[in-house]
A and B are shown apart, each in its own frame.
Chain A
């Protein structure tokens, strides 16, 4: 058990000036289940991208440090090298072709060719790819892999229409079928599964580990980690926090390691803001949103006028779905009241008319017309809903120019002129344009999602300060962010979302452990702390 299979030796990686991994070293033993945990942006995916030699790593200058497999230095330049070395991964997004059978999917681009005289002749004449395939043998192999997972579905069933849990097993079976699989990485494998499916997956993981295959188990579910993992490694902000034996630790400690002490930083202002008497600006009841990968499954909260309400949680848990759903960008069900007025859902226009503005988390796809100028972007929504910036029904270039210049000055948008295409701006300045567009609407309720994602520190501070200022002028702000520190620094209350539901609402000065546990979906924080 103690033999090291894989070793990360001071692995570092930076994208341009942004260091995402700092000197990470840990090892994975043969036949163990090794849990890997960390917030979004902690460096888990970068680490895995390095392990699999993904093009994104090599096209950005590679990485520092080394990875050793069974004492040999690994030189992985592509996912196929990783495969050859016996390292396999099951991604969150399934790599399955629905119109193929289970066996065909397991053997995808690793098909077995028939050994026959005809094949020898045709391959000589027309090339290797004209060899016929040995479906019998492929089915047999697939059967064997499925048997190892104790899965008794017929190997020639089409993947189309299989329950998600089965698809996951097919993915794992594919990795098992690859010759010499030594290490299997599972990325949030239980996130999409029902409870019983998750249980059988965890059982299957144990069986595989018992066969000597090491498993790296990336998950946010602390309960599952403590249930199946042998050891756990915690990453935070690109740094290794600790690697511990699971039997020597508990969920509480892991949660604390994950969040760290950083929460209470840079919060100087308005600690005493109280909104208990203010009227309710936004109330949300039983909200369901069908945003892919960010489904909301029954959320309820209230925000008072002038308050900054934070929405946090891990990626894919549904926090982003809330604002998108309320704005009518994805199919939504539930009750939303704005300033006491019940609002119709799935009608973006009605929300905008009611004075609600939205700064999307997805600047390029939703937030901007990247081929158009700054001024066009800034005025567009307001022009459309309030018919502003129009003169005799036609666009009023002068009014637009003046307004855009004012906004550029107010928000310190760095650009050559107000006519510059937004696609050419840096991330931070693009974000400022998005905010400028929202402010031009003169909203009373503002949703901002991931306002500081991918932008530099200066712009970050400016945007957060701006939100504070707007709030003190009476605007109600609902800020959704993956960065807990940022939420804690300006929000008055923070709701933590896990698996599409509100786990709890915490004050910004709550302990990191509480945040960590809630992000893992543990509701009864007090109980957990006591036990």
Chain B
């Protein structure tokens, strides 16, 4: 019996060693700042609530990377494509007069349709530039964001709560409280336990999306997509349509991103337009890498762990730093720290990719 115990202990060490570097590093940082926060008088439940809040609004953006990574097109650096589709869906549905939960449901359906359609085109593009997907993807996202800048300016919507006070065009931020959609998912079955705020509706959406994704990758099509990502030659020899699988994966990815921005918008209480989507892909990619995903392999667990740690870190760093560092430098420093960590993490993933790849 004693032998078994020894083995167990060894496997614990092994299990710890198995945790990817990115998870350990960000996890340690999270703990450090958490402790720093507790020492400086923040309550545990407050910090955890903040972490959970950002987790809820970011999880779907991070989840959108799973299908594209699994299909071998790499992390979805063109996330803005999905996001602008979600924004467009919301804007149109609001203009059509929907409010409250009806708005969320209809906008989600429209977002999924729009997202899938653009994901189809984007998937075709990824097939045309096979081998350099990641070099092309960010610029596709940037360019689409800019095009939609023009769309927001010129879209013929005259709803007084959506357009600029002066002149034409939609506002940079459309507050959702006019439409009774502010925090609507967050407030659905909202409860507090020991001061910990649980945004039930938001979390239900995230959990359902994660479970569906998990199930999808256990279906024939999902397994086919995974095989395409792992070894396209094997997949082809087994009768999987490689190009079609990659297109489908990117359709799902784009649709999830489109859905993600709806959750995001209600979670903050307003829709952000114009330059907002531009750089969102990078934190989303960082999330999934923190969770242990690589450029070629990702799963739902990576999403959950990574999003919680990385976005949670950012959520608690802001208040804690603001209090700890006097002179206003604290608030300003969080952005740069986020930038350094997020992009450092992506570089880490990229460097591992070429080692493991060819």
Residues in chain A within 8 A of chain B (CB atoms): 327, 329, 348-349, 352-353, 358, 360, 362, 365-372, 380-381, 383-385, 387, 390, 393-395
**Residue count of chain B within 8 Å CB distance of chain A:** 18
Contact with A369, one of B215, B231, B241 (Cβ below 8 angstroms): B231
Chain B: which residue is nearest A394 at the CB level? Answer: B218
Residue of B220, B224, B230 most packed against chain A (CB within 10 A): B220
Q: Which residues of B contact A329 (CB under 8 A)?
A: 233, 236-237
Q: Quote the shortest CB–CB distance from A526 to chain B (angstroms).
A: 40
Q: Quote the shortest CB–CB distance from A376 to chain B (angstroms).
A: 8
Contact with B239, one of A349, A370, A371 (Cβ below 8 angstroms): A349
Which residues B215-249 have CB closer than 8 A to chain A?
A: 215, 218-220, 223-224, 227, 230-231, 233-234, 236-241
B238 touches A381 (CB 8 A): yes
Contact with A383, one of B223, B231, B237 (Cβ below 8 angstroms): B223
Contact with A348, one of B218, B224, B237, B297 (Cβ below 8 angstroms): B237
Q: Which residues of A contact B240 (CB under 8 A)?
A: 384
Q: Which residues of B contact A384 (CB under 8 A)?
A: 220, 223-224, 238-240
Residue of B219, B224, B227, B238 most packed against chain A (CB within 10 A): B238
Q: Which residues of A contact B239 (CB under 8 A)?
A: 348-349, 352-353, 381, 384-385
* Cα distance A372–B238 in the bound complex, in angstroms: 15
Residue of B218, B231, B236, B240 most packed against chain A (CB within 10 A): B231
A366 touches B233 (CB 8 A): yes
Q: Which residues of A contact B236 (CB under 8 A)?
A: 329, 348
Q: Interface majority SS on A: helix, strand, loop or mixed?
A: mixed
Query: How many residue pairs between the two chains, A and B, have CB atoms under 8 Å in the bound complex?
Result: 63
Q: Shortest 8 CB-CB distances between A and B: which pairs? A: A381-B238, A349-B239, A352-B239, A366-B233, A395-B218, A394-B218, A385-B239, A369-B230
Question: Could you list 18 A-B pairs, sorted by A, with CB under 8 Å?
Answer: A329-B237, A348-B236, A352-B238, A352-B239, A360-B237, A362-B233, A366-B237, A367-B234, A368-B231, A368-B234, A369-B227, A371-B297, A380-B234, A381-B238, A384-B223, A384-B239, A390-B219, A393-B220
Q: Quote the shortest CB–CB distance from A316 to chain B (angstroms).
A: 20
Known contacts: A348-B236, A348-B239, A385-B239. The answer to whether A371 contacts B220 by CB under 8 A is no
Q: Quote the shortest CB–CB distance from A328 to chain B (angstroms).
A: 8
Which residues B63-103 have CB closer than 8 A to chain A?
A: none
* Cα distance A42–B281 in the bound complex, in angstroms: 55
Q: Which residues of A contact B230 (CB under 8 A)?
A: 369, 371-372
Residue of B231, B234, B237, B241 most packed against chain A (CB within 10 A): B237
Q: Quote the shortest CB–CB distance from B262 to chain A (angstroms).
A: 27
Q: Which residues of B contact A349 (CB under 8 A)?
A: 239, 241
Chain B: which residue is nearest A397 at the CB level? Answer: B218
* Cα distance A367–B239 in the bound complex, in angstroms: 13
Q: Which residues of A contact B227 (CB under 8 A)?
A: 369, 380
Residue of B218, B234, B297 most packed against chain A (CB within 10 A): B234
* Cα distance A494–B219 in the bound complex, in angstroms: 42
Task: Please give 9 more A-B residue pairs, beta carbons under 8 A apart, in addition to A365-B233, A381-B237.
Answer: A348-B239, A349-B239, A367-B234, A367-B237, A372-B230, A383-B220, A390-B219, A394-B218, A395-B219
B219 touches A393 (CB 8 A): yes
Chain B: which residue is nearest A387 at the CB level? Answer: B220
* Cα distance A293–B70 in the bound complex, in angstroms: 31
Known contacts: A329-B233, A366-B233. The answer to whether A385 contacts B238 by CB under 8 A is yes
Contact with B237, one of A358, A372, A390 (Cβ below 8 angstroms): A358
* Cα distance A369–B236 in the bound complex, in angstroms: 12
